[in-house]
Amino acid sequence: MNIIVLVKQVPDTSEVKINRETNTLIRDGVPSIINPYDRYAIEEALRLREKHGGKVTALTMGPPQAAEALKEAVSLGVDDVVLLSDRAFAGADTWATSYAISMGIRKIGQYDLIIAGKQAIDGDTAQVGPETADMLGLPFIAYIRKIEKVENNTMVVERLMDEGYDVVETALPCVITVVKEINEPRVPSLKGKMKAKSLKVAPWSAKDIAADESKLGLKGSPTQVVRIFPPAPRGQREMLSGPLEEQAAAVVKKLKEQSLI
Amino acid sequence: MDYILTEEQLMIRDLARQIAVEKIVPVRAELDEHNKFPTDVMKAIAQADLLGLYIPEQYGGLGKGSLDFYIAIEELSKACLGVSTTYAANALGTYPLLLFGTDEQKKKYLPDIASGKKYVAFGLTEANAGSDASGIQTTARLEGNEYVLNGTKQWITNGGEADVYTVIAITDKSKGPRGASAFVVDKGTPGFTFGKKENKMGIRASSTTELIFNNCRIPKDNIIAKQGMGFIVAMKTLDSSRAGVGSQGVGVAQGAIDEAIKFARGRVQFGQPVTSFQAIQHMLADMQTQTEAARALVYSVARMIDSGAKDFSRASAMAKLFATDVAMKVTTDAVQVMGGSGYMKEYPVEKMMRDAKILQIYEGTNQIQRTVIGLDMIKEASKAK
Ligand SMILES: Cc1cc2nc3c(=O)[nH]c(=O)nc-3n(C[C@H](O)[C@H](O)[C@H](O)COP(=O)(O)OP(=O)(O)OC[C@H]3O[C@@H](n4cnc5c(N)ncnc54)[C@H](O)[C@@H]3O)c2cc1C
Ligand SMILES: Cc1cc2nc3c(=O)[nH]c(=O)nc-3n(C[C@H](O)[C@H](O)[C@H](O)COP(=O)(O)OP(=O)(O)OC[C@H]3O[C@@H](n4cnc5c(N)ncnc54)[C@H](O)[C@@H]3O)c2cc1C
């Protein structure tokens, strides 16, 4: 089973401070880490490889120093890495990023499954997974908390929902994003760390992945940030359980208590 | 302090530190409270290749030296001595094979030990033989192609959890110190069972049990080294691992200092952080100075061993003695610096203080270490003239 894991290098937000005047993140001098959700994606890929054999490739798009995130992936045990790095990618929104990533994946060619974290902790958009799937014409399932089984080019997974979970069957190849409930990520191995240390990562350019330059970077980014605001908080909710009659009685009681009926 | 570690040693330190922070700290209180063997933590340590550090590459390990190994022990000990005892006793049980095993024995056992597929324990102590190991009463009688073991070992670390046991037993009582031999015994061998699991003051994550041999038959080839070499195997094994107990002391002492200073900086009394009182500053200063001295001694001994020294019995005894006495003092003082909070289970220092005590007892009590050092000094002095 050949698996591609999408990873992103992000600032360690536990160390980020906010500029109170501009309300933006102060990124200077903040250490970079692998997006925490991507560590779950890497772990799941490694576990699938241990079970089914095959190869795990970690792919990232970013500046040259994003190679560090790939090296960390190697120290954890991934077999191969791809760094998409080119001036032409700079300023990309999630759409242009997903386009570059999808072209990178096309160049890799051979894959059964693509796994990403549910979102990145810097942008928090949760868009690159689904957009990449769409551009590759692949099925997409978000918020996977468990991969139940993989056989005969199909996969059965559990998708975490607000209340409970869905069991979904999909054809392979497909793209999934995973939540932290899926596993407990491992620490690197010493052999992995030594391998990572001597690894030279040769980046792929826009040309290497045969990308249409007009769809890349700032030029290829339709997103316009108009305003940033916190969403209105959801009201308090309460789930009732038990026999229907008791639930109905409880609802009536609550409505009366609040003088709504 | 900078100990001029190699890039690889720094890598080992970072890796062990990551395991400590991510895998041990979140569970240590629970392991302690419930006397629970650290199964998942040991798996993480195995996956990180740290169980194979000191095993030669040709047997599936990484072929590193004592210092590399002690650095890993120190970092794990910062977080939990119960875990690091499990880890270090695994090496203690492996040394007889490593130092005296045949190529065949090494091929059979070491790769699985390096990968963490098999855990190991070392069985010397008995009810009537603690400091005086020559008092052991477990026997091994040769019958045809088999040795038959009878007797009970007491307080064996990793007992019940380990798959491989290196055991010292009497093969010929009339020969005195030349009358014991070392054996390797697999878990599951008929006649080999485990007694009660001890309920301990500290290192409660570490399993300590009896090993009971009742007409346990093992192949003749399971003898390690020659018949009669049992105590030599045991003493060389303890020489090799003893300074590692020193690094456990350095680790737990440093762990306690880190907790104490973090707490003290935030603790306000008399309108100021307690770190502003000279009484506290001086206590912290002594704690760190003693710990740094212990670390320097342990690292020096490790480098001496790694450079191929033949006799390091005195040196490793000094490293064990000094670093573990420091550990007891520093962990006690860490509780003191934190006042009543230090005494409570909400903070880890009371556990560190309970845990530290064992370091002065096992692998030869600190009284015995002093005897080893003193006798060696006198022997040297008598040779000098
Ligand atoms: C948690 C734990 C784990 C252990 N793990 C192992 C293991 O994995 N394998 C193993 O083989 N053993 C193990 N042991 C045994 C350990 O090595 C012994 O407890 C230790 O050697 C001391 O022996 P003892 O407890 O019988 O004390 P004793 O020998 O009875 O000593 C009692 C006191 O007398 C002192 N004393 C004894 N003789 C002298 C002397 N000649 N001069 C001065 N003072 C002396 C001692 O220092 C001590 O203070 C473990 C013990 C514990 C508690
Ligand atoms: C098990 C237990 C039972 C207790 N029972 C009772 C009880 O029945 N009734 C009750 O009222 N209290 C009780 N206490 C509270 C106890 O008296 C306090 O814990 C003790 O006075 C120390 O205060 P602290 O823990 O807040 O430490 P802190 O005052 O925060 O001290 C922290 C450290 O700073 C040092 N320090 C503080 N100020 C100075 C200074 N000016 N100069 C130098 N060093 C300084 C302290 O010596 C200590 O090392 C109990 C505590 C415990 C742990």
Domains of chain A: 2-220 (3.40.50.620)
User: B191-196: long-range contacts (C-beta < 8 A, 24 or more apart)?
Assistant: B191/B149, B191/B215, B191/B216, B191/B217, B192/B149, B192/B165, B192/B216, B194/B159, B194/B160, B195/B152
Distance CA B247, CA B294 (A): 8
B168 lines ligand 1 (CB under 6 A): no
Over residues B229-256, the mean pLDDT reads 97
Strands (DSSP E) along chain A, which ranges?
A: 2-6, 9-11, 17-19, 24-26, 32-34, 55-61, 80-84, 113-117, 140-151, 154-160, 165-171, 174-178
Is residue B233 within 8 Å of residue B225, measured between CB atoms?
A: yes
Q: Hunting for tokens 């064992």 — which residue is that?
A: B358
Ligand having the closest approach to the CA of B359: 1
Residue at which a domain ends, from B187, B207, B228: B228
Q: Which of A75, A49, A56, A58 is nearest to A9 (CA)?
A: A58
Contacts of residue B289, Cβ cutoff 8 Å, sequence gap at least 6:
none
- Give pLDDT, residue B307: 96
CB contact under 8 A, A187 and B49: no
In the structure, which protein residues have their CB atom closer than 6 angstroms to any atom of ligand 2?
Answer: B 267, 269-270, 274, 277, 279-280, 336-337, 339-341, 343
Contacts of residue A209, Cβ cutoff 8 Å, sequence gap at least 6:
A84, A100, A103, A104, A106, A107
CATH number of the domain that residue B374 is part of: 1.20.140.10
Same domain, B68 and B160: no
Same domain, B216 and B332: no
CATH number of the domain that residue B70 is part of: 1.10.540.10
- B47 contacts in chain A (CB < 8 Å): 186-187, 189
Residue at which a domain ends, from B228, B253, B272: B228
- Beta partners for residue A154, in sequence order: A151, A171
CB contact under 8 A, B18 and A187: yes
Q: Which range marks the domain in which residue B305 is found?
A: 232-384
Residue B347 in any domain: the answer is yes
Number of structural domains chain B divides into: 3
- Give pLDDT, residue A24: 67
CB contact under 8 A, A187 and B44: yes
pLDDT band at A25 (very low <50, low <70, confident <90, very high): low
* Catalytic sites of B, residue numbers: 363
Q: Pairing relation of β-strands B139-143 and A55-61? A: unpaired
CB contact under 8 A, A193 and B15: yes
Same domain, B213 and B72: no
CB contact under 8 A, B48 and A187: yes
Is residue B127 within 8 Å of residue B152, measured between CB atoms?
A: yes
Phi-psi category of residue B4: left, alpha or beta, with phi > 0 → left and psi -120 to 50 → alpha? left
Inform me whether the pLDDT recorded for B83 exceeds 70: yes
Positive or negative, the CA dihedral A133, A139, A143, A145 is negative
Same domain, B289 and B349: yes
CB atoms within 10 A of CB B194: 16
Same domain, B146 and B110: no
Phi-psi category of residue B210: left, alpha or beta, with phi > 0 → left and psi -120 to 50 → alpha? beta
- From atom 51 of ligand 2, which residue's Cα is the shortest distance away? B340
Over residues A55-63, the mean pLDDT reads 97
Cα A141–chain centre separation: 12
Inform me whether the pLDDT recorded for B116 exceeds 70: yes
Same domain, B211 and B352: no
Same domain, B319 and B268: yes
Q: Hunting for tokens 């894991």 — which residue is that?
A: A5
- For the purposes of burial, counting CB atoms within 10 Å of the CB of A242, is it exposed (0-12), middle (13-18) or buried (19 or more)? exposed
- Give pLDDT, residue A23: 65
Residue B331 in any domain: the answer is yes
Strand, coil or helix: what is A6? strand
Q: Which of A83, A78, A94, A81 is nearest to A41 (CA)?
A: A78
For chain A, give the mean pLDDT.
Answer: 92
- Give pLDDT, residue A261: 85
Q: Which member of A188, A194, A197 has the closest CB to residue B48?
A: A188
Same domain, B263 and B370: yes
Question: Which of the 8 DSSP states describes residue A204?
Answer: B
Q: What is the pLDDT of residues A115-169, one digit of tens each?
A: 999 999 888 889 999 999 999 999 999 999 999 999 989 999 999 998 899 999 9
Distance A41 CA to ligand 2 centre (A): 48
pLDDT band at A171 (very low <50, low <70, confident <90, very high): very high
CB atoms within 10 A of CB B1: 8
Distance CA A16, CA A26 (A): 6
Residue B1 in any domain: the answer is no
CB atoms within 10 A of CB B170: 19
CB atoms within 10 A of CB A44: 23
Q: Which of B96, B16, B93, B97 is nearest to B59 (CA)?
A: B97
Residue at which a domain ends, from B178, B193, B228: B228
Q: Which of B15, B18, B68 to mutate to test the interface with A (most CBs of A within 10 A)?
A: B15
Residue B98 in any domain: the answer is yes
Q: Does B11 reach chain A within 8 Å, measured CB to CB? A: yes
Mutate to test the pocket of ligand 2, among B274, B283, B341 (most ligand atoms within 8 A of CB): B274
Same domain, B237 and B360: yes
Q: What is the pLDDT of residues B346-364, one digit of tens each?
A: 999 999 999 999 999 999 9
pLDDT band at B257 (very low <50, low <70, confident <90, very high): very high
**Which of A215-224, B24-33, B291-300 shows the lowest per-residue confidence on average (mean pLDDT)?**
A215-224
Distance CA A56, CA A45 (A): 7
Distance CA A52, CA A21 (A): 52
Same domain, B98 and B204: no
Residue B2 in any domain: the answer is no
Over residues B207-228, the mean pLDDT reads 98
Q: What is the pLDDT of residues B369-380, one digit of tens each?
A: 999 999 999 999
Same domain, B212 and B258: no
Q: Which of B300, B307, B353 is nearest to B322 (CA)?
A: B300
Cα B30–chain centre separation: 22
Q: Tell me the percentage of chain B whose pLDDT exceeds 90.
A: 98
**Which of A241-250, B5-14, B43-52 shows the lowest per-residue confidence on average (mean pLDDT)?**
A241-250
Residue B379 in any domain: the answer is yes
Q: Does A191 reach chain B within 8 Å, measured CB to CB? A: yes
Same domain, B243 and B378: yes
